[in-house]
Every structure is written in C-alpha cells, then in structure tokens.
Amino acid sequence: MKITFLGAAQQVTGSCYLVETGEVKFLVDCGMFQGGSQADKLNEQPFKFIPREIAFVLLTHAHIDHSGLLPKLVANGFDGPIYTTTATADLLEVMLPDSAHIQEIEAERENRRREKSKGRKHKQEAVPLYTMAEAEATLGKLQAVSYDARLAPHPSVNCSFRDAGHILGSAIIEVWLKERNKQTKLVFSGDLGQPDRPILRDPAVIAEADILFIESTYGDRLHKDMPSTMDEFVSAVNNTLQKKKGNVIIPAFAVGRTQEIIYAFYQLTRQGRFKDLKIYVDSPMATKATAITMRHMELFDEEAKELNAWRDKNHVPLKLTFTGSAEESIALNSIHSGAIIISASGMCDAGRIKFHLINNLGKRQNTILITGFQAQDTLGRRLVDGAKTARIYGNDIPVRAEIYTIGGFSAHADQADLLHWLKQFKRPPAQTFVVHGEAHAAQALADKIHKMNWKVSVPGLGDSASF
C-alpha cells in the first residue's frame, strides 16, 4: 500500500490523500488550495495521478478546502462515485455550484482587467478552474451514506463515517483495507470539532487504527473557553454598536461558522446581553446552508434543540434578515451604523465580504470581527497581522476600522482537544501522520504525540509512504 500526500501537508488547505493498493486506487478528499497566488498555481496544476484510474472518493466534509477540486477531478476524467454523509451531500448541492460561479466570475473579472491594462499582452485568456456544468456533473456522482453504517466501495475496502463534530455532516472516516491475507485499518480524522460546543455533537471516539491521519490546524495553541469567548464577543459588538455607533462586519464561512454565530446571537439575546440587534446575513450560500442545517435537526445536540424550541415559542428582540439579490446586498452600503453584517468568504478572499470591506474598512467607528482561521496569504490573515491597507479589486483601502479577533469560535479542536481525542485510542497506531496544519502547528502537535511514545511524522506536500 502506498499513500501520497497531495494537499494539506504542512499547510491547512487542499486536503487530498491518494491511497493505492495492488487492487484499487482511491482518494480521501479532493480540496481546493486557498490563500493567494501560490494557491492558485497549485489549483491549476495537473493532478499527480490519472483521474480516470481513481475508483472512488471518500469525502470527510463539505468545506471547499476538502471538496473544492472535485469538479476539476470529474472534468479530467474521474467517473466513479463520491461517498459522503447525507448532510454533506445536501450542502454540496449548494457549495460546488457556488464555487464554480465564483470561478467563472473571477475569470471574467481578470479578463476585463487584462483588456484594460496598457502595454501588457496576455497569450491566453483567463479560464475558470471549472464551470457550473462541471459542478453539476459532480453532484450526480455523490452517494450519501449514514453515520456509523458500514460501506464496501470495493471488494477489498470497507469504511465507516463517524461524526467529527466540526460542521454539519463532517466525518471521521475509518477505512479497512485487505491486501492478500492482511487487513490494515486507516483512520482519517478529517477536521475535528471542539467537544462541548453548541449545536453539534462531540467528535466520535475511535478506539483503534493501524495508520492514523490527524489534523493540526490548531496543533500549537489553545482556544479560550466558551464563557470568555462570549464575553469578548458581547464586548466587541456592544462597544461598536452602542459607543462607536458603527457597523460590525463579520467574515464567516457560509457553512458552519455563520450558523454558529447566528446561534450565539440568539443565545446571548435570550440571556439579556443583546437587545434589538439588526443582523444581515449577506451570502446566498449561507442562506441556503442555514436552511439545510435546519433540515438536519437530528444532528444537533440537546442544547441547540432546546434553544430552537424557545425561539419558536417566544418573541425574540432580534431582527435577522437574509439578503438575496445583488441589489439587496448593495443596499447595505447605505447603512452607516447599527448593522451587523455576516458575509462570506470567511478568509475575505472572495464573495460579497470583499465589497463590505471596501465600504467599511476605512471608517474608525466600524469593527471587523474575525471569528475563524485565516490561512497564510489570505486577505483575512493580512488584516489579522496588522496590515495598514488592504488591496481589494485593484484598490488600496486604508484599514481604519478595528480588527478584532475572537479565536474561541473555532470549529477546530485545539491542541488539548486533539491530544484528548488521541488518548482515547486503546493502543498507539503503528504510524501517525500529522496533516492539515501549517508547518509550525503540525510540528508542535507531532512533538506532543512523540512524547506519548507514538511513531509520528509530519509529511510534506507530495511525500509518499509505503506499507
């Protein structure tokens, strides 16, 4: 058996692992790289394998850094099934066409820019990474599976999807491979959520693995506890709305983070810590994802079910508006104070959030509230790192608004959570690979795992391991 690390190796995005045995080749995830021109180059390069030789794909969850290159895979000849959970399949019905739409729009915008540029010749026009038609073709290959059910995508492969507690439908994938008379169990953690978090259930306990792939997004740090996070959140919002008389702009992933922030606003309003908020969710994808989330109440924890029942029975002093059209989005520009605008993308690199940043970054009374991980080379990361100007669509926008980072909202387990999850294994795996983390974070977690007397390594992009 050979495993090749084609993404999320000493970096957070682009999750893709190629598993090859004597009988079958398959992928676990096929995600898009995110964060600047280097990510664009990685997304555009040919696959390091022949797509038509891939028998099937196992997909951990819907986030684009795990699923976003599936349409490119299909466009290049892959014709097998894509197995994932039911909720993930529902979310991809929204997310992949939306991603394709962004690709098409960005290509059109780049071609217009090239036409206007003087003295520069471009040999080829910009083309989208994939099209809406290719995204739609990908949706036809999805095969939804239930949590904890056993699946046999190939005579030599069995697998089971377990709840990862990260976003709706997210999964840890257990894979049993038979080679000759030997069986090997692989476990892919996917992205693990924090335990004891609102809305979703805790990550499932996995008892055994021969080969383990563990994420490390926050492998080098700890999150603040939830009470402290909520205190920070309330302070930042109320200070902006009541004292500075400005707007709060929240870049948020359309799936997962947006719903968690809405939940927090309702919970804190119920506690009397907010009143008469005017919240605008300006992301068509987030609007659809929220509707899908409400269709999967069976995946909620008891606290979330109880809050939802309270909201249905009571008048809540909170106005929540989901904007749809571009005209409705543009109309938000006329609101100079008192608005909370939640918009995608979460790392500020695409979508409507860029227009809200253009309109709000230059005003001192406003706050940009960062609630999620910002990958290297993204606009969100530059803002967090203290950039004085932000270049958006060719314009340099002065950064006068307060940039406020709240890390406790993360949908990812922190170092302590990851180690706690690992310590529930009955015995150390024969090999543990630390993936899905920037190099320093992955190495920090690997050092902790090594102290547990586990065999552990941090693979690099393109590395392979044979067993």
* Structural tokens at position 85: 């959970």
One domain for residues 217 and 87: yes
DSSP character string of 353-402: HHHHHHHHTT-TT-EEEE-S---TTSHHHHHHTT-SEEEETTEEEE--SE
Same domain assignment for residues 250 and 382: yes
Both 166 and 298 in a single domain?
Answer: no
Residue 425 Cα distances to 17, 171, 313, 428, 429, angstroms: 23, 17, 43, 7, 8
Tokens 């100079």 found at? 336
Q: Are residues 145 and 55 in the same domain?
A: yes
Tell me which residue range forms the domain holding 250. 226-409
pTM of the entire predicted model: 0.88
Q: What is the CA radius of gyration of the chain?
A: 22
Same domain for 330 and 243? yes
Among 393, 409, 425, the domain-final residue is 409
**Pair 9, 459: CB distance under 8 Å:** yes
Determine the residue type at 299: L
Domain boundary among the residues 392, 409, 426 is at 409
Question: Distance between CA 286 and CA 390 in Å, rounded?
Answer: 25
- Same domain, yes or no, for 376 and 427? no
- Specify whether 33 is located in the same domain as 148: yes
Residues 91, 217 share a domain: yes
The domain total for the chain is 2
**What are the φ and ψ backbone dihedral angles of 214, each rounded to 5 degrees?**
-120, 130
Residue with tokens 């044979």: 466
> What tens-digit pLDDT sequence spans the chain (467 residues)?
999 999 999 999 999 999 999 899 999 999 999 987 789 899 999 999 999 999 999 999 999 999 999 999 999 999 999 999 999 999 999 999 989 998 998 889 888 888 877 655 666 788 999 999 999 999 999 999 999 999 999 999 999 999 999 999 999 999 999 998 899 999 999 999 998 887 889 999 999 999 999 999 999 999 988 899 999 999 999 999 999 999 999 999 888 889 999 999 999 999 999 999 999 999 988 899 889 988 888 888 888 888 888 888 888 889 999 998 999 999 999 999 999 999 988 899 888 999 999 999 999 999 999 998 888 888 999 999 999 999 998 889 999 999 999 978 888 999 999 999 999 999 999 999 999 999 999 999 999 999 999 999 999 999 999 99
Q: Which amino acid is at 46?
A: P
Q: Which of 409, 431, 456 is the last residue of a domain?
A: 409
Whether 46 and 150 share a structural domain: yes
CATH number at residue 341: 3.40.50.10890
Q: Are residues 208 and 69 in the same domain?
A: yes
CATH number at residue 185: 3.60.15.10
Same domain, 331 and 451: no
The verdict on 400 and 415 lying in the same domain is no
